């Protein structure tokens, strides 16, 4: 019998340390290759680490809440002929999201045939223990007061549980009166920081001290570096977005977009891609020696998650159809809210949009995502008085704010880019040109 020590690996480019969030095994437990043994928090995201060994868990060398450096031994496994199945090549490109989707779909196929790859260790070895550990029963939500039964498939119930959505409060749009995936996502997206939460009593302690670490520390470091290294300049424009709202309504009714979440953010994303093509310098990176203009768009979406602000991005968004872009935005949002965004999904962004309108805000002055030179803020869209042909009429109005790195983007380019985005929101038909 041999004792193997598993050291904390680098699960992202340049990772130096991570916090142990929760152990999935205890001393004496049997463990199989590729079974998830621990959940860690890096500076960017939560990551599940699978075991490279099969055997019996010996000792947990670090406790939950501890921050350890890469290369530190965190667990021992006793086994005969213990071995590492594969070198850790690119753990950031894990297929864990695919694994979750398989479970939600009720697919009981063996992992060997599913194509799932766990955090860089390959699919060698049975992962039934891991699958069993992730499969937790979902309690049925309370029925509506009126006694109307809640019709929702198990994957929809699981999604609602993950997003903290009470199915009794969701308006069902399914053909048989059932709650669809889009219904749950829409309800979750409509909830603001001020709705659907109770006001707690004042705590008995006069103060609370929150350690600055993990995602919060990374956010603070990045925002300070961005704000005080890049000279920000901001512009704003009011927009009649009535035609955008009509376009969104038509897309929702289209069979091509059935089951896909469609919102004004989709039109904003497409507008930004179009405007970038016309004003390419806003899609750049600054270095001390040169300006790198990117001829592709990795569109970042600022996402508020339980662990803080993260900015995953849609890779090569310029090549996507409206439908594919909508599907990518939906998957990106769901993964972020579940806290499962991987480091690779947040790397190499080129330009960012933040939807502060989802919190009821009219506009703001967003801070640049580090490494980028432009960010756009979409404000809330609501009916306001608007002058059309000399007449005051109610229209859906929004305000778009944008910030730029003035070392790269001059005022005229910033204004033209923002005006181009505004023109699409005012008339989405321009996208057909």
pLDDT tens per residue, range 391-415: 999 999 999 999 999 999 999 999 9
Q: What is the CA radius of gyration of the chain?
A: 24
Would you name the residues annotated as active-site residues?
Answer: 406
Same domain, 122 and 153: no
Same domain, 355 and 330: yes
> Does residue 223 fall inside a structural domain?
no
Average pLDDT, the chain: 80
Region at 432 (left for phi over 0; alpha for psi -120 to 50; beta for the rest): alpha
Q: What is the pTM assigned to this prediction?
A: 0.61
Task: Select, from the ranges 78-87, 93-102, 246-255, the one with the highest average predicted confidence (pLDDT).
Answer: 246-255
Q: Which range, of 128-132, 184-188, 231-235, 330-334, averages the lowest pLDDT?
A: 128-132
pLDDT band at 91 (very low <50, low <70, confident <90, very high): very low
Both ends of the chain: CA-CA distance in Å?
70
Q: Give residue 13's pLDDT.
A: 55
Domain count, the chain: 3
> Does residue 156 fall inside a structural domain?
yes
pLDDT band at 321 (very low <50, low <70, confident <90, very high): very high
Nearest-angstrom CA–CA distance, 200 and 430: 48
pLDDT in tens, 27-72: 999 999 889 899 888 766 778 888 888 899 999 999 988 888 888 9
pLDDT in tens, 273-297: 999 999 999 999 998 899 999 999 9
Give the CATH number of the domain where residue 85 resides.
2.40.50.100
Domain that holds residue 273: 228-432
Nearest-angstrom CA–CA distance, 12 and 42: 9
Same domain, 175 and 78: no
> Does residue 257 fall inside a structural domain?
yes
- Residue 101 CB partners (closer than 8 Å, separation 6+): none
pLDDT at 119 over 50: no
Task: Select, from the ranges 55-69, 79-93, 133-147, the one with the highest average predicted confidence (pLDDT).
Answer: 55-69
Nearest-angstrom CA–CA distance, 217 and 227: 16
Same domain, 174 and 240: no
pLDDT at 386 over 90: yes
Q: Give residue 116's pLDDT.
A: 30
Q: Are 288 and 338 in contact (CB under 8 A)?
A: no
Nearest-angstrom CA–CA distance, 350 and 371: 8
> Does residue 205 fall inside a structural domain?
no
């Amino acid at each position: 019998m041999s004792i193997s020590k598993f050291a904390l690996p680098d699960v992202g480019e340049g990772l130096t340390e991570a916090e142990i969030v929760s152990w999935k095994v205890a001393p004496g437990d049997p463990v199989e290759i590729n079974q998830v043994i621990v959940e860690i928090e890096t500076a960017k995201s939560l990551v599940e680490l699978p075991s490279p060994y099969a055997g019996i868990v010996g000792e947990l060398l670090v406790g939950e809440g501890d921050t350890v450096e890469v290369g530190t031994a965190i667990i021992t496994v006793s086994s005969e002929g213990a071995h590492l199945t594969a070198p850790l090549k690119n753990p950031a490109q894990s297929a864990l999201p695919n694994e979750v989707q398989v479970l939600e779909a009720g697919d009981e196929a063996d992992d060997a045939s599913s194509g799932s790859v766990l955090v860089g260790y390959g699919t060698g070895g049975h992962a039934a223990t891991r699958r069993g550990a992730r499969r937790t029963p979902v309690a049925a939500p309370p029925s509506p007061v009126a006694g109307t039964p809640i019709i929702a498939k198990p994957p929809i119930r699981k999604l609602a549980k993950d997003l903290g959505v009470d199915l009794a409060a969701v308006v069902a749009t399914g053909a048989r009166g059932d709650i669809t995936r889009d219904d749950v996502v829409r309800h979750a997206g409509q909830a603001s920081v001020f709705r659907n939460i109770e006001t707690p009593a004042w705590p008995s302690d006069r103060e609370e001290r929150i350690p600055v670490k993990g995602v919060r520390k990374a956010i603070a470091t990045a925002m300070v570096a961005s704000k005080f290294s890049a000279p920000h300049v901001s512009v704003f424009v009011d927009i009649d977005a009535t035609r955008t709202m009509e376009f969104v309504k038509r897309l929702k009714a289209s069979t091509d977009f059935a089951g896909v979440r469609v919102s004004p953010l989709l039109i904003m994303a497409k507008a930004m891609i179009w405007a970038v093509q016309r004003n390419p310098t806003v899609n750049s990176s600054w270095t001390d020696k040169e300006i790198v203009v990117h001829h592709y768009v990795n569109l970042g979406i600022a996402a508020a998650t339980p662990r803080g602000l993260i900015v995953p991005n849609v890779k090569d968004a310029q090549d996507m159809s409206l439908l594919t872009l909508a599907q990518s935005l939906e998957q990106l949002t769901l993964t972020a809210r579940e806290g499962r965004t991987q480091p690779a999904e947040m790397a190499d962004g080129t330009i960012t949009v933040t939807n502060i309108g989802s919190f009821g805000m009219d506009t703001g002055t967003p801070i640049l995502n580090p490494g980028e030179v432009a960010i756009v803020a979409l404000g809330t869209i609501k009916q306001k008085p608007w002058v059309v042909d000399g007449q005051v009429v109610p229209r859906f109005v929004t305000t778009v704010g944008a910030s730029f790195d003035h070392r790269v983007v001059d005022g005229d380019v910033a204004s033209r880019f923002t005006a181009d985005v505004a023109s699409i929101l005012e008339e989405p038909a321009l996208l057909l040109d």
